[in-house]
Amino acid sequence: MEAAANIAGGGIVAFPTETVYGLGGSALCPEAVEKIFLAKGRPGDNPLIVHIAYFWQAPFLVREVPIKAKVLARRFWPGPLTLVMPKSPAVPEAVTAGLDTVAVRMPDHPVARELIRLSRCSIAAPSANISGKPSPTTARHVLRDLYGKIDGVLDGGPCEVGVESTVVDVTSRVPVLLRPGGISKEQLEETVGEILVDPNIKEPNGDVPPRSPGMKYTHYAPSGKVFLVEGEPEKAAAWIRRECLVNREKGRRTAVLCSRETAHFYNGCVGSNGFVEVLGSKSELESVARHLYSALRRCDLENIENIYLETYSAQGIGLAVMNRMYKASGSNIVRV
Ligand code: AMP
Ligand code: MG
């Protein structure tokens, strides 16, 4: 595979995973890692996740595999779970942004796994977007952000999960959830018992700095102003509907990203220069997760000025959905 040869030779290639598209380079090649940061415009203090295809690759990257890491890896790998473990000196500082830990994941996507196997590398890969923008869930999203800046993109169709992996720090006795994602907190607890939650997950901009450096940046944000409207569903929908009617009057480009259950509230309230998009059902939050980023990206494509989001239950993958929505809104939460 040409892409694998490229990575083995120090190049950077975007590839599909079950979560979002990643921008990969050889994890043990500092020049490749440097290229990744440059292409994305990623702040140097935000470490990368190292992707592996075999369990035996992990001991080359970490000083030790804590017992709870073993248990979690056995249950959830390959899959959307990233484990933060003590770093081996073999991993370049640039990958971990100078931290003494390294984040490792085994993706569950045939193209990602084949790429890792054929390149014979562990692949350092953040999401394949311009830093601060919503992560890409199709090859087209990648090209819109990074065309001309990377050596290629493998097209594996739309991503199944749609939000990034769950990041868990397993260096302490009680594991700490640093970023909610494709594997839920409940699933982690069933497997290893108590899990602490980094306080920045629920509502960012708290007083405690996040332990996952990436969580402190404005993330997943489209260019328009995002309103996250919290409250009883009918009240929230009525508030959004009123705002949309005012916007339409003023010719403001408006989008509502809503649930199947509330979609009918927005019939005819957005002008022809905007749109209403159903993300999925409140009773199947996986579908909301899968469609969130492409809907946020559509807002940018259509130069939307005001974007309205509803809230969802924070159970299961809902915790990841709500975390990304808080971030996309820059904590612009309207309580009705
Ligand atoms: P991305 O691959 O773009 O989804 O970003 C990777 C995420 O993993 C970021 O939020 C990083 O801050 C986090 N991460 C990577 N390495 C570490 C580490 N050693 N300790 C804590 N968080 C990490
Ligand atoms: Mg990212």
User: Over the stretch 249-302, which tens digit does the pLDDT of each residue have?
Assistant: 999 999 999 999 999 999 999 999 999 999 999 999 999 999 999 999 999 999
CATH fold of 225-335 reads Rossmann fold (3.40.50)
Find the mean pLDDT for residues 322-327.
Answer: 95
Gap from CA of 242 to ligand 2 centroid (Å): 34
Which of 1, 20, 17 is closest to 9 using CA atoms? 1
The tokens for 269 are 């309230």
Q: Using most ligand atoms within 8 A of CB, pick from 130, 179, 200, 218 the residue to mutate for ligand 1.
A: 179
pLDDT above 70: residue 88 = yes
What is the model's pTM? 0.95
Domain layout of the chain by residue ranges: 2-201, 225-335
Residue nearest to atom 3 of ligand 1 (CA): 126
- CATH topology assigned to domain 2-201: DHBP synthase (3.90.870)
Mean pLDDT across the chain: 95
What is the C-alpha to C-alpha distance for residues 180 and 165, in angstroms, rounded to an integer? 7
Using an 8 Å Cβ cutoff, are 145 and 22 in contact? no
Which residues line ligand 1 at a C-beta cut-off of 6 Å? 46-47, 49, 84, 96, 99, 101-103, 126-127, 164, 167, 178-179, 212-215
Lowest mean pLDDT among 169-178, 215-224, 273-282: 215-224
Instruction: Count the Cβ atoms, other than its own, within 10 Å of residue 142.
Output: 27
Q: Which of 82, 36, 39 is nearest to 61 (CA)?
A: 82
Choose the residue to mutate in 12, 48, 177 for probing ligand 1, maximizing ligand atoms within 8 Å of C-beta: 48
- Per DSSP, helices labelled H in the chain are 2-8, 30-40, 58-61, 67-76, 93-96, 110-119, 139-146, 185-192, 233-249, 285-301, 318-328
Name the token pair of 221.
């944000």
CA distance 148 to 97: 25
- For residue 94 the two structure tokens come to 């640039």
CA 49 to ligand 1: nearest atom: 15
Give the Å distance between the CA of 49 and the centre of ligand 1. Answer: 6
Q: Is the pLDDT of residue 204 over 60?
A: no
